[in-house]
Amino acid sequence: MSDLKHKTPAELRAEITSISRWRAGKEREATEKEALAASLLVEASQLRQRAHNMGQCEAWARIYLAEKT
């Protein structure tokens, strides 16, 4: 940080621009990853619901099989 004191105004402006672009890129990346995480949570929830539904179907099939044998 102390090296910034010794830079010229033009160098400082360039540094600010560079850092600003870098930060904006990281913010965009973070937003994209948050959206992906939310999407994956929804997908995981849907898979769990399907697994639960199939488990209920399996249980009823076992009940009916036991009644018929």
pLDDT, position 59:
98
Average pLDDT over residues 60-65: 98
Alpha-carbon distance of 52 to 3, in angstroms, equals: 60
Over the stretch 8-57, which tens digit does the pLDDT of each residue have? 999 999 999 999 999 999 999 999 999 999 999 999 999 999 999 999 99
Count of residues for the chain?
A: 69
* Per-residue pLDDT, 37: 99
Q: What does the alpha-carbon distance between residue 42 and residue 20 come to, in Å, rounded to a whole number?
A: 33
Q: How confident is the model at residue 1 (pLDDT cuts 50, 70, 90)?
A: confident
Q: Could you give the angle at the alpha carbon of 46 between the alpha carbons of 45 and 51, nearest 5°?
A: 95
Specify the pTM: 0.65
